[in-house]
Structure 1
Amino acid sequence: MGKRLASAISPYLLSHAGNPVDWWPWGEEAFAEAARRDVPVMVSIGYATCHWCHVMARESFSDPELAAYLDEHLVAIKVDREEHPEVDAAFLAAASAFTPQLGWPLTVFATPEGRVFFAGTYFPPRAAHGVPSFRQVLEAIVEAWTLRRAEVEATGAAVAEALAARPEEALAALPGEHALSASVAELASFEDPQYGGFGADAKFPNAPVIAFLAERGRRGDAGADAFGRRLYDAAQALRDPVEGGFFRYAVRRDWTEPHYERMLSDNAQLLDLATGFGDEGTADAVAGFLLEVLRLPNGAFASAQDSESLVDGERVEGGYYALDAAARATQPRPAVDAKVLAGLDGMAIGALADAGVRFARPAWIEAAARAADAVLAAQLAATSDGPRLRRAGRGERVSDASATLEDYGGLAGGLLRLALAAGEPAYAVTARELLDACLDDGEVRAPGGGDPVLAARGIQVDADQSEGATPSGAALLADAARGMFELTGDDRYAAAAERAIAPLLGPALERPIAFGATLAVAARLAAPPEELVVVLPDDAGVDGPLADAARGWAAPGRTLAILPQRAAEAFAAAGFGLFADRTPVAGAATAYLCEGFSCRLPTGDPAALAAQLA
């Protein structure tokens, strides 16, 4: 039995604790056991809301006979890819030598030294469609290890050598107007003219790409703006009409059959898009999903909701979501992965804060603050070397997994946006501390080093440069640093932002469909900053005609604060120079607009502000 998983933080690992497989969690102990027994390791990587991970668990890992064979001949390691993104990235890179169909569940076979000699994804219980059964794979692995050890070790060494020899990407300058326009044109070549979205098969919302197009639209590219809105409108087919959240993707070209898991990362980004497009209906639906379904008792957000659940006592995929509101009320909700990931929660915190400002929903800002307080209380520790984040937590327990730039950048960016929305400089101070912890002699890296088990085996991987449906850690850090530069005027944050994404710019310009977040941040960095501060008398509320005019300007990437004079003074005293000397003129609400490093005259006239923002 997988009793070693019974105390895991990860709900994914806990779901395998009852398997007959003698699972080991990720760690040195598993590799030491493999070396002691002189057997290979099988590293099985997945996540809690992965449908085919569930299927393989039911078909293979719950089979006592197969489990006995696996335990006799190998050491089996179970990994939650969300808890250990570096491990996932390292084994994905190695697996690419054996299969082009990368995804999860990821099944990797390696020597006790961690050198991968075979890999695949889902293996069925019986051979089908040219894919061998899982038992056949295990038997072939054991035969090769027993009879052709030299060949196995040579394969592992060759893969390790090839990965280590990959050239580093040259640092690139920020792209100019021509390069960004070319990226838009490249993206347009992938658009499905009939059903919308990208490609002719499965359809993802690809929120990072839409964010890039929206950023271009805000900078005057009307074609990019229209393109982004078409993609956004097409993705609405994935929104649950009852509970509001967006599903992961559609399995058909016409968007008619969703894959039903709902991810915090997707919904945080789609809430940002709704804010940027002024779509209050979608914002209301997504915020409702975050607050009513993914919000945990302490106020933080679960990382995902499962696609499978019980409907009338039978476990099915998607059946719950086919029900109307009344019928759903009679069935148990699909389980949520209650693991709290610092970076992804930061994305949700920022999205709720910005949406709360744009649509005048103070309850959303309050919910973002409660989530931030929960994450900071559980997963941020003060050390003599500065603040140190813990990547994952569940309840009162935290994982020992290394925090990445995704965590530092995602949380810092969310805290910055919350600070402006709530008028609370303490959140911005913490964001600054998190960013400073990642800046080291001109380099940008997560403090504390990477995964120690990988490092001990000489496996080097940068999980923070992996991007797709979720922004890379580098892009999240860069965007947070950009925001900090606009608040402080400290050029080292602008330099850090450019440094963070520089290695990704070459690949991003070559394959923009895979690097939307990097391109969105690059477009923001390449353009002049936009900052608007509305300062109100201390005895006034945050509503009124001037504040309303400012709210309509709110969008991701823009620095907007609507706050009382005492809060502006507190920000200035804390070192955020944007707020220096920002006071209500003649005791009335006053707006200060700065664009491109130059500022307009302050105004208290809503019509004049609207004209400045036009």
Structure 2
Amino acid sequence: MNDNRLGSAVSPYLRQHAENPVDWREWGPDAFAEARERDVPVLVSIGYATCHWCHVMARESFSDPGVADLLRQDFVAVKVDREERPDVDASMMAAASAFTGQLGWPLTVFTTPDAHVFFAGTYFPPEPVQQVPSFRQVLGAVLDAWRERRDEVDANASAIATAIRQGAGADATASSGDGRGDGEPRLPAVDTVRGVLDQLRQVEDTTYGGFGGAPKFPSAPLLELLGDLAADDPDGTDATAGARGLLDRTLDVIARSELTDADGGVFRYATQRDWSVPHYERMLYDNAGLLAVAGSAQARGIAAFLRDTLRRPDGAFVAAQDSESTIDGRRVEGEWYRRPLAERATLDPPPLDDQVLTGWNGLAIRGLAVAGARHGDDEMVALARGAADAVLAAHVRDGHVAVRSSSPRGTSSAPATIEDVGLLAEGLLELALVTGAVSYASAARVLVDDGLAGRFGADPVLDTAGTATGEQPQTALRSGTVGLASAAATLAALTGERSYRDAAARLVADRARSGTERPLGYADALGLALALGRPSREVVVVTADREDPMRAAAFGARRPGTTIAAVTPAQADEWGAAGFALFEDRATHDTVAFVCHDRVCALPATTVRTLVDQLAS
């Protein structure tokens, strides 16, 4: 008997499990209603399409007819793609932290029919290994507790749900989305943010580079924070030199190590302290995040990987490339990547996680736009523009994000999250500033207004359970909350509306304060707090020549608190007419640059020398 329900799923990860003998359901009210009717626990198994250990557990356990019979008889089995449903993943991860400190994927969670977690772990082998029980043993122990110690199970599940509810309530109070909460947001002082550098120095691996021991992650948000700290003090103090040195050393070792593939793409992490033996999957978010800080050669390599491997014909980027490929009839991890490039061309490449995620594409748009402006690379900007046009056409309706995830099989019903709204808005604004195309800025403004009003979809199961956590701390992926706050701060500079800057401070204040003690999970918030702690500076270059050296001089002066735009005279008029007051009366037939501090502008600069002098002040 096989009543697996995943055959029509949009998610490539769910479809990978469509042939399992397990009678999988998708996440939703129907699965939990069935569990209530049968009075059985729910197995929630979470992973993603390019996850190696997810593949392993699928082959070892979920393809086992005996395991499938156990699940069919005594459980309701639910499969979740953590990329498609980050809200579910965040809630289950928060609960799983009560049982294990080794969080990751596959995530194996058992809940009551009310979706309250009472036991969780990660990968379980088919046979016991040292202190790790087999998956069958776990199922037996869970079932025994469910039948023989039900009061204890319900009490534990209720306590965990209460803890999650209280934590989520505190986060919501600290970061009220509309910026109209009582009292002023308490951002950490600039000196406090800069003091984080001392913590990072202490955990630098001075032997092999990077931070801490194995495994080693690229941690793009942390590297971007180092770039912000380095750019924040143009006089080059010892602290700044320390930030620049940390950043350059880490980027250099990533570029030279096995973590970077021969085609320029960067793997998710290295399993060894010396950056060797990569975990071979390649994620859009890691590569997109690194673009914002990478040097010229590294950025061009990453952009080429996005263009040649992850880009769809319509311009959007898919989520990832798998760690495994089929060689000589056998699924193997990493072997394709270990072959020379010429030999790879004769083999089937690792498959793609072919879903298009709105937020991750926003991150790619931002990274490509920032890198393209910094390195004078028009192709990167064109790639950003192609992705923006594709996502706006397919995922945004009537100005609002309507789709989080889509694939060639259709559109997912998963609700859009703050990640989608915030990261897309931030990416569109960066693209607008680089291209001068006001349409992207106007689209971003609608998205920011949506985000500040809290217009996100809600999951009915988590809502009923009271365990929706909101966005959790990020280490590899830029936070959607921070993206939304950053976009709001940029809009404040462009429009002159102080309410946007106040909302940005309120969104990021609590995260930034947490980051002064735990910078790894809140590096992006610290970077934005640094920007909000500085007086706003706006730079507008008006020129009809995209090769004008004043453009390069302006974009080369990117630092926290500075908004930089380049427009043609006609574009300046369009921005002003669209309600972006910074551009009013800026149209001129001569090349000119305006450097303003809190909208108070110096005399127009008509030479590169004058502009550089003004930017240095």
TM-score (norm 1): 0.93
| 428, 433, 442: which one aligns with 1:420 | 433
Distance in 2 (CA, whole Å) between partners of 1:513 and 1:362 is 33
Equivalent residue for 2:575? 571
**CA–CA distance in 2 between the matches of 1:555 and 1:49?**
36
1:461 maps to what in 2?
469
Q: CA deviation at 1:397?
A: 2.2
Shift of 1:559: 2.5
- 1:322 corresponds to which residue? 338
Alignment equivalent of 1:248, drawn from 260, 265, 268: 268
CA distance in 1, matches of 2:286, 2:598: 31
Q: Secondary structure at the match of 1:562?
A: strand
| Partners of 1:58 and 1:572 in 2: CA distance | 59
Work out whether residues 42 and 112 of structure 2, in 8 Å CA contact, stay in contact via their aligned partners in 1.
Answer: yes
Q: CA RMSD in A?
A: 1.8
- Following the alignment from structure 2 to structure 1, what is the Cα–Cα distance between the partners of residues 528 and 378? 27
What's 1:433 paired with? 446
2:392 pairs, out of 372, 376, 388, with: 376
> Displacement of 1:105 after TM fit?
0.6
Match of 1:299 among 315, 334, 338: 315
Which residue of 2 is the match for residue 204 of structure 1? Answer: 217
Match of 2:244 among 205, 225, 231: 225
Aligned to 2:563: 559
Q: Which moved more, 1:429-438 or 1:364-373?
A: 364-373
Once the two structures are TM-superposed, the CA of residue 609 in structure 1 deviates from its matched residue by 2.0
Question: How far off is 1:150 after superposition?
Answer: 2.1
Name the SS of the counterpart of 2:594 in structure 1: strand
| 1:268–1:347 CA contact under 8 A, matched in 2 | yes
Q: Which residues in structure 2 correspond to 1:482-501 (within 5 Å)?
A: 482-501=489-508
Structure 2 match to 1:151: 152
Partner Cα distance (2:374, 2:553) in 1: 10
Asked if the contact 2:473–2:521 (Cα under 8 Å) also holds between the matched residues in 1, the reply is no
Find the counterpart in structure 2 of residue 525 from structure 1. 532
Q: 2:138 corresponds to which residue?
A: 137
Give me the whole-angstrom Cα distance separating, in 1, the residues matched to 2:583 and 2:452: 24
In the superposition, relative to structure 1, how do residues 545 and 517 fare at CA in structure 2: closer, same or farther (>3 Å)? Answer: closer
Deviation at 1:338, TM superposition (A): 1.0
Out of 338, 358, 374, which is 1:358 matched to? 374
The match for 1:348 among 350, 364, 367 is 364
| Runs of 5+ consecutive residues of structure 2 not aligned to the other structure | 175-184, 234-239
SS class of match (1:438): helix
User: Are positions 1:118 and 2:119 aligned together?
Assistant: yes
Q: Report the AA paired with residue 546 of structure 1.
A: M
Q: Which moved more, 1:246-255 or 1:138-147?
A: 138-147
Distance 1:514 1:376 in 2: 30
Work out whether residues 187 and 513 of structure 1, in 8 Å CA contact, stay in contact via their aligned partners in 2: no
Partner of 1:543: 547
Q: Report SS of the residue matched to 1:227.
A: helix
The 3-state SS of whatever aligns with 1:21 is coil
Whether the 8 Å CA contact 1:571–1:579 is kept in 2: the answer is yes
Contact 2:10-2:409 at 8 Å conserved across structures: no
Q: Give the whole-Å Cα distance in 2 for the aligned partners of 1:315 and 1:262.
A: 17
SS of residue in 1 equivalent to 2:516: helix
CA distance in 2, matches of 1:109, 1:545: 60
Residues 206-243 of structure 1, C-alpha deviation per residue, up to 9 Å, x if partnerless? 11111111111111133222222222222222553422
3-state secondary structure, aligned to 1:9? coil
Q: Which moved more, 1:546-555 or 1:241-250?
A: 546-555
Matches within 5 A, 1:178-197: 178-197=191-210
SS at match of 1:514: coil
Aligned partner of 1:559: which letter? T
Structure 1 residue 596, shift from structure 2 partner: 5.2
Once residues 606 and 459 of structure 1 are traced to their aligned partners in structure 2, the CA distance between those partners, rounded to angstroms, is 55
The answer as to whether partners of 1:471 and 1:518 remain within 8 angstroms in 2 is no
Q: Residues 509-567 of structure 1: CA distance to partner in whole angstroms, max 9, x if unpaired?
A: 1111221111111111111233322112xxx4311333343343357874222221001
8 Å CA contact 1:212, 1:523 repeated in 2: no
* Counterpart contact for 1:215–1:520, Cα < 8 Å: yes
Q: How many angstroms does 1:370 deviate by? A: 1.7
Counterparts of 1:48-127 in structure 2 under 5 Å? 48-127=49-128
Change (3 A) 1:492 1:25: same
- Code of the residue aligned with 2:35 in structure 1: it is A
Q: Which residue of 2 aligns with 1:591?
A: 593
2:531 touches 2:560 (CA, 8 Å); kept in 1? no
CA contact (8 A) 1:542 1:563 kept: no
Shift of 1:190: 1.1
Shift of 1:176: 1.1
The residue matched to 1:216 in structure 2 has which SS? helix
Which of 400, 403, 407 does residue 394 from structure 1 map onto?
A: 407
> Distance between the aligned counterparts of 1:327 and 1:348, measured in 2?
29
Whether the aligned pair in 1 keeps the contact of 2:539 and 2:596 (CA below 8 Å) is yes
**Which residue of structure 2 aligns with residue 20 of structure 1?**
21
**CA positional deviation for 1:466:** 2.6
Which position in structure 1 is the counterpart of 2:237? none
Distance 1:557 1:286 in 2: 27
SS at match of 2:540: strand
Q: Which amino acid letter does the alignment assign opposite residue 592 of structure 2?
A: T
For residues 2 and 421 of structure 1, the distance between their equivalents in structure 2, rounded to whole angstroms, comes to 52
1:450 is matched with which residue: 443, 455, 458? 458
Q: Does 1:289 align with 2:305?
A: yes
Q: Normalising by the residue count of structure 2, what TM-score does the alignment of the two structures yield?
A: 0.93
Aligned-pair identity (%): 48
Displacement of 1:396: 6.8
Q: Distance in 2 between matches of 1:469 and 1:203?
A: 11
Residue identity matched to 2:23: D
> Displacement of 1:350 after TM fit?
1.5
Further displaced range: 594-603 or 46-55? 594-603
| 2:483 counterpart of 1:476 | yes
Q: What amino acid is aligned across from residue 55 of structure 1 in structure 2?
A: V
Which 10-residue stretch deviates more, 505-514 or 242-251? 505-514
SS at match of 1:316: strand
The 2-side partners of 1:71 and 1:303 are apart by 32
Secondary structure of the corresponding residue to residue 4 of structure 1: coil
Code of the aligned partner of 1:174: L
